[in-house]
């Protein structure tokens, strides 16, 4: 290596150019004392003082041929000293010191001498190269406190903060070791930590920072705090943080404040920075991405929400191009995907998410959420395997546990997959996990899809009281925003399904009416309104097969093939004419070809499976036919009587079978439902039989 070479920041420590000093110098710090005798090194006699000096200098970080300490660099016999060191077997051909000799020298030399040599090394390297490069990291880790080392590390961290937050995190930590004051880069250290997913550490730093009377980098500190609050599932706290900062100090953070405020239902707060004339900032890719995000979100609340999705997609594209990992309450890619899902465009959402993941949008902290939204898109399109794969990818996207808002999304996904797969036991377990997850978050605009799924499942399990206050908050939030159709339609659809499960016309009516009203501004609303109307007509056994088929195919066209196939299959069970039965079964198979195995519709004269709402299909004349629960019609009869608390003898008397036969039916039901005990059997029977059984 020449005196002009130095290593880049992303090269790991430990090369021969500037050998790592931390472990050996730590030992030296413990063992070295002023005036200690020179360490004994085999191969050196007592008069080899200059050889020892050369080896010590090289062990500290000096290199051959330069730079070297003044006493060696000016020595006339430098070449002979080098040769002597090589002859002794202590200096390798590449100019590095043999490991045992290096360790002995660093351990046995007084720490004050080592620090003096390190400072001279800094002088020499800066004089020759103008920068320390990777050497600064080794010196900081060895314990050297030097303002020049600290400054270079901090500048290097600043340069990679938005593009490589993981490296920036380490550089800022090393700058602290080298003597940087903790407050000087506190906000940036918090940004790096938040971008890698370490929310707790980032939150602790900004807590201390924002408590100061005049904190440095205040706006950046607020950005980090707001992002941490949002990821914790408390979007209202995120918005409050920007309100505390004030519109006159928002500057280029105004779009981030808009994301938080709209997400928490405070649309009026978005107008304050605009009225104050907040500067838009330079037209960089990042600035344009954030501006488009703000404008797209505002359009979702207006009279032309169909214009919002293209704008949010462009925002995601610009964010991908920028490569910046900045603190965000929600990333443009996630917002574009959520908007697409709310618009009945799951395939569009999937494409946006794939592009964002490929580009690394938002850094490691954003990856779990992007994967989970990808899972939601797959689930909505009835691709259960792809959904589970994406959930697994989210779990390992970074080394930190999932943020609370992402835990809620996972819980809702598990509930939704179990419900669609008619997996009774899994649904009960997933619901228990969801109950825990929902206690850690509050409702915001961008989490309405999971809350809708939880609403439906709560109705099916007769646990509506568990989610009622959260749903009250959701309706209140939408009311504050003027009930924008883009955001409210999917939740109204979920409420319609929940009302069907609860057999409550009074609860269904307002949501059905809301879908009809929203049809003027939303194609999805018109499709869902037709679907809801078809469901009601089917359940009342007063329907036209053509209307039901149109509604079912409409649901499939907006990314809901499972719901469409269930509607057609359930209608087939109620069809009075053979031609309607055949037509609706063909529709169900066409929408959902794998329905024969997944329970989307009946096959070859079998009884229809459970419908989209989880309600059971009506019983038919074939006592031996088996439905999606795996129970024959006779077993369903026995199960209902068992749930009423009847004994085997009473069951036998009711349906004209012997008590022993009733007992055999119960044993078979236990095996088919995978129940290990009587109490578990009763729970699974309640789920398998749907509505019409007595409460526990």
Q: pLDDT tens digits, residue range 121-143?
A: 999 888 888 888 888 999 999 89
Name the most confidently modeled range: 49-63, 585-599, 620-634, 678-692.
49-63
Against a cut of 0.85, is the pTM above it?
no
- Say how far apart CA 67 and CA 129 lie, in whole Å: 10
Confidence of residue 590 (pLDDT cuts 50, 70, 90): confident
The more confidently predicted of residues 104 and 613 is: 104
Q: Is the peptide bond before 362 cis (omega within 30 degrees of 0)?
A: no
Task: Please give the backbone phi and psi of residue 61, each rounded to the nearest 5 degrees, phi first.
Answer: 140, -10
| Cβ pair 634, 642 in contact under 8 A | no
Note the pLDDT tens digit of each residue in 190-221.
Answer: 999 999 889 999 999 999 999 998 899 999 99
The structure tokens 């920036």 sit at: 168
- Say how far apart CA 672 and CA 685 lie, in whole Å: 11
Two tokens at 473?
A: 């908050």
Average pLDDT rounded to a whole number, residues 44-55 = 74
- Say how far apart CA 64 and CA 17 lie, in whole Å: 9
Per the DSSP assignment, residues forming a β-bridge with 91 are 97
- Say how far apart CA 438 and CA 174 lie, in whole Å: 39
pLDDT at position 573: 80
- Say how far apart CA 526 and CA 524 lie, in whole Å: 5
pLDDT at position 279: 55
pLDDT at position 5: 44
The more confidently predicted of residues 36 and 581 is: 581
H runs (alpha helix) in 145-265: 147-160, 165-177, 186-196, 199-210, 218-231, 235-245, 254-263
| Cβ pair 190, 202 in contact under 8 A | yes
| Cβ pair 414, 430 in contact under 8 A | yes
Task: Please give the backbone phi and psi of residue 9, each rounded to the nearest 5 degrees, phi first.
Answer: -70, -30
The more confidently predicted of residues 412 and 579 is: 412
274 pLDDT more than 50: yes
pLDDT at position 696: 38
Question: 301-308 contacts: CB < 8 A, separation 24 or more?
Answer: 301/262, 301/267, 301/481, 301/482, 301/484, 301/487, 302/484, 303/521, 305/343, 305/484, 305/485, 305/486, 305/521, 305/522, 306/343, 308/339, 308/486
Secondary structure (3-state) at 74:
coil
pLDDT at position 40: 56
Closest CA to 606 of 583, 571, 587, 632: 632
511 pLDDT more than 80: yes
Closest CA to 132 of 61, 238, 185, 223: 61
- Say how far apart CA 295 and CA 422 lie, in whole Å: 41
pLDDT at position 426: 86
Average pLDDT rounded to a whole number, residues 621-632 = 52
pLDDT at position 124: 87
Q: Which residues contact 321 (CB under 8 A, 6 or more apart)?
A: 285, 289, 359
């Amino acid at each position: 290596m020449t005196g002009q070479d130095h290593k880049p920041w992303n090269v790991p420590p430990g090369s021969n150019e500037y050998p790592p000093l931390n472990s050996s110098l730590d030992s030296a710090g413990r063992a070295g004392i002023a005036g200690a005798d020179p360490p004994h090194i085999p191969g050196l006699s007592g008069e080899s003082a200059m050889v020892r000096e050369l080896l010590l200098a090289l062990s500290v970080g000096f290199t051959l041929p330069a730079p070297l300490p003044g006493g060696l660099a000016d020595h006339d016999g430098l070449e002979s000293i080098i040769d002597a060191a090589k002859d002794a077997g202590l200096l390798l051909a590449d100019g590095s010191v043999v490991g045992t000799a290096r360790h002995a020298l660093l351990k046995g030399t007084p720490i004050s001498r080592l620090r003096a040599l390190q400072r001279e090394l800094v002088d020499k390297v800066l004089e020759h190269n103008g920068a320390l490069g990777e050497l600064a990291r080794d010196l900081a880790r060895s314990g050297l406190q030097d303002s020049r080392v600290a400054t270079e590390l901090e500048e290097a961290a600043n340069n990679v903060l938005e593009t490589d937050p993981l490296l920036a995190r380490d550089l800022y930590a090393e700058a602290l070791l080298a003597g940087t004051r903790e407050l000087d880069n506190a906000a940036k250290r918090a940004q790096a930590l938040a971008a890698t997913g370490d929310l707790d550490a980032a939150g602790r730093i900004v807590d201390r920072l924002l408590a100061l009377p005049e904190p440095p980098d205040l706006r950046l500190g607020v950005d980090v705090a707001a992002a941490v609050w949002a990821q914790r599932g408390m979007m209202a706290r995120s918005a409050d943080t920007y309100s505390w900062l004030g519109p006159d100090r928002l500057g280029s953070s105004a779009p981030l404040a808009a994301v938080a405020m709209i997400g928490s239902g405070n649309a009026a707060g978005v107008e304050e920075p605009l009225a104050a004339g907040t500067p838009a900032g330079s037209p960089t890719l990042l600035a344009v991405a954030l501006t488009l995000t703000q404008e797209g979100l505002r359009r979702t609340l207006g009279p032309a929400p169909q214009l919002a999705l293209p704008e949010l997609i462009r925002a995601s594209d610009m964010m991908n191009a920028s490569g910046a990992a900045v603190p965000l309450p929600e990333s443009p890619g996630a917002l574009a995907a959520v908007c697409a899902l709310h618009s009945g465009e799951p395939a569009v959402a999937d494409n946006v998410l794939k592009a964002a993941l490929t580009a690394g949008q938002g850094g490691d902290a954003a990856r779990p959420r992007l994967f989970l939204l990808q899972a939601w898109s797959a689930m909505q399109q009835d691709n259960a395997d792809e959904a589970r794969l994406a959930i697994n990818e989210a779990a390992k996207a970074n080394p930190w546990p999932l943020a609370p808002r992402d835990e809620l999304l996972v819980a809702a996904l598990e509930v939704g997959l179990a419900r669609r797969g008619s997996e009774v036991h899994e649904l009960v377990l997933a619901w228990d996990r969801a109950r825990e997850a929902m206690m850690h978050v509050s409702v915001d605009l961008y989490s309405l899809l999971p809350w809708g799924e939880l609403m439906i499942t709560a109705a099916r399990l007769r646990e509506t009281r568990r989610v009622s206050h959260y749903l009250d908050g959701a309706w209140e939030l939408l009311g504050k925003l003027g009930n924008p159709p883009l955001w409210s339609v999917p939740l109204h659809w979920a409420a319609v399904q929940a009302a069907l499960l609860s057999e409550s016309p009074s609860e269904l009516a307002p949501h059905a009416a809301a879908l009809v009203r929203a049809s003027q501004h939303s194609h999805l609303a018109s499709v869902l309104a037709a679907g809801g109307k078809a469901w009601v007509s089917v359940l009342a056994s007063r329907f036209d097969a053509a209307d039901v088929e149109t509604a079912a195919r409409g649901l499939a066209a907006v990314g809901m093939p499972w719901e469409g196939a269930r509607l057609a299959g359930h209608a087939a069970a109620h069809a009075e004419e053979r031609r309607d039965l055949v037509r609706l079964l063909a529709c169900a198979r066409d929408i959902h070809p794998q329905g024969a195995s997944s329970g989307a519709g009946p096959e070859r004269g079998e009884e229809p499976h459970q419908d989209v709402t989880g309600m059971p299909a009506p019983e038919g004349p074939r006592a031996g036919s088996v439905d999606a629960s795996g129970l024959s019609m006779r077993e369903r009869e026995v199960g209902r009587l068992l749930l009423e608390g009847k004994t085997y003898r009473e069951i036998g008397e009711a349906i004209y079978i012997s008590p022993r036969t009733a007992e055999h039916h119960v044993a078979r039901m236990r095996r088919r439902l995978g129940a290990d005990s009587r109490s578990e059997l009763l729970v699974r029977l309640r789920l398998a039989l749907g509505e019409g059984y007595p409460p526990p």
